[in-house]
Amino acid sequence: MIVLIGYMGSGKSTVGKVLAKQLEMDFIDFDNYIEAKENRSIPEIFKQKGEVYFRNKETQYLGELLDENPNVVVSLGGGTPCFGTNMQTIVEASPNVFYLKLSVDKLISRLKPEKAYRPLIKDIADADLSEFIRKHLFERNFYYMQAPHIVNVVNQTPEELAAEVSEKLS
């Protein structure tokens, strides 16, 4: 199992799909997995049930996913590793956990056009996005940095990033 973690907009799903194809493995986007289990979109879950409900379900489904799918590439949601014992569960499930690390500026340029689809930032003014992401990354970095592998994303293509991950597999 290969697990990709990182902040929203870091390219986990895009790189994960390429990597899975290169390695002839299945790919699971954890957000899609949750949406299928809940029969509604993540923004709908946040709106109807709130973040606490979402995070509790996320932890439940994470355990299921990691137990049931040993030969897959998984991209997790940006917040998944940062709640409860999720990061410990992830690292215990696989030695192949990769943190896709981007600069705040690169994250802003990727996230600004997608704000409407991102529940945590949809209501944040563009002028405040940098401060929000910096603060959020500071809080989440403790968890992300527990990944056995860190990939610094600069200007690599998804294919180049997938190749970099492949070279570091245990």
DSSP H or E stretch at residue 2: strand 2-5
pLDDT digits (tens, 9 = 90+) for 137-155: 999 999 999 999 999 999 8
Is residue 118 within 8 A of residue 8, CB to CB? The reply is yes
CATH superfamily of 2-164: P-loop containing nucleotide triphosphate hydrolases (3.40.50.300)
Q: Is 88 helix (H, G, I), strand (E, B) or coil?
A: helix
Where along the chain do its domains lie? Answer: 2-164
Rounded distance between C-alpha atoms, residue 55 and residue 63, angstroms: 13
pLDDT digits (tens, 9 = 90+) for 60-73: 999 999 998 788 99
How much is the average pLDDT of 38-65? 92
pLDDT value at position 116? Answer: 79
Rounded distance between C-alpha atoms, residue 21 and residue 109, angstroms: 27
Rounded distance between C-alpha atoms, residue 136 and residue 147, angstroms: 18
- The radius of gyration of the chain from alpha carbons, rounded to an integer in Å, stands at 15
pLDDT band, very low/low/confident/very high, at 170 (cuts 50, 70, 90): confident
Is residue 4 within 8 A of residue 74, CB to CB? The reply is yes
Q: In terms of pTM, does the model score above 0.85?
A: yes
Structure tokens at 68: 């049931």
